[in-house]
A and B are shown apart, each in its own frame.
Chain A
């Protein structure tokens, strides 16, 4: 995790990200036929910000407010024992719950698919959605599980030596997606 991004180059800048999210919002409305039963659940940390931005855009499009929440997957990870205990993030399910609704999971990067696997398990303990879909800002490939995204901001073919880092204004002070090369930092495991 001690990655250096100094030599990383931006592959998406602020305006690109805004445009991409607008497109995804339209796709959701289209595919979910108006999106009136959609619940957006962001995966902490950056997925939550993306979910909130998507919710705002959906509201602009549909004129209705869309329930948005967060789903922490820490306790469902399959690699818990490979690192010291991680701090938990907030799981916040909108008041009406998820039962019978279309849950759209939102995350920044889709990589191995293990996070989404954990998210599906976590969701399973919370309720029974009508369907679950996945929206990601970047799909960088290299799936290790049979998981795919329904809405993709940008497909970004990468090598395993490369790193993808999403920065969002809410957390990092600016919007950008950086593509870099992994440094041989000891103990840093992707």
Chain B
């Protein structure tokens, strides 16, 4: 594991499996009468949200609190940021308060990378979504959900998603979720197919480790999981597609289309869903749709990430690049009585 979590592409297969396995143990905490662990007692985590995202913010907050971290929520709205304070100044203010980790959501692609690599702060940086770049914890919780459903809760431990066929449908161009998922799922051995109208696929996608299709119907029967991305209605004003109706007809998931999927295949959605656009209410509310599960799994994944980044010795900061890599979690546990 690196000291920060900026991009799903930075994770090795072993890193990713360790996070998923750790999340599996974290999930069990939620079943206990006291849903709290003392692990991050005395550590301070800031949720630095330059973009509104109540869902992601409360998911991180729940994870931080379950691990007993001290949580500071910082929303850019109504703060000095809206008065022109730079990311750098904001970061240094937090650093001065002795923050151990910064969970950052930012509208600009690369802002978390800058925060982690510019020398502005020493704290660990966790990317909670940046622009149209990456959203690594979302990809992790999606992979976690897939592994549980497609491999099994206990059977999945220590395993990846080798051979699983995952289809991601919708606005890939503007989606950090799609980018993170392609990177992570590829690392985990899954076969990814992206489906979208050509206008919503980025130029340069040919270098991504996945297949691309414009045809949803032919892809569905070959999918173990179908992830529907949110499509904002405003996109049609910029001529990405003609009308909402036409989009739904060609790329929306309804019950008829869902019937074409293999029997045990699941439907996923990172939320928030635009019902009637990319997904019908019938599909969204069906047993095959894991949207609600994904939310619950998000807390476990974020606990796992926080634990693995903050739960051990603080890695040397400001050292040579390879020192950025803290060793993977130690497996040895004897001889420490």
Contact = CB atoms under 8 A, between A and B. Distances in A.
> Is chain B in direct contact with chain A in the complex (CB below 8 A)?
yes
Interface of A: 1, 3, 44-46, 72, 74-76, 79-91, 107-112, 114-115, 121, 125-127, 140, 163-166, 190
A126 B38 contact: no
B38 A44 contact: no
Contact of A86 (B326, B333, B334, B335): B333
Contacts of A88: 21-22, 25-26, 307
B17 to A, nearest CB: 11
Interface of B: 1, 18, 21-22, 25-26, 28, 32-34, 36-39, 67, 307-309, 311-315, 326-337
Contacts, number: 96
B335 A80 contact: no
A164 B36 CA distance: 33
Given A44-B333, A86-B312, 6 more contacts: A45-B334, A75-B39, A87-B21, A87-B331, A108-B334, A164-B335
Contacts of A90: 25
B312 A80 contact: yes
A184 B288 CA distance: 57
Q: Can you list the 5 inter-chain pairs with the closest CB atoms, starting with the nearest?
A: A111-B337, A85-B312, A88-B25, A75-B39, A87-B329
B44 to A, nearest CB: 14
B336 A115 contact: yes
A46 B334 contact: yes
A109 B326 CA distance: 29
A75 B312 contact: no
A111 B328 CA distance: 27
Nearest to A142: B337
B228 to A, nearest CB: 32
B337 to A, nearest CB: 3
B312 A83 contact: yes
Nearest to A182: B335
A87 B28 contact: no
A101 to B, nearest CB: 15
6 contacts: A75-B311, A80-B39, A85-B1, A86-B329, A86-B331, A190-B335
A88 B24 CA distance: 10
Contacts of B67: 75
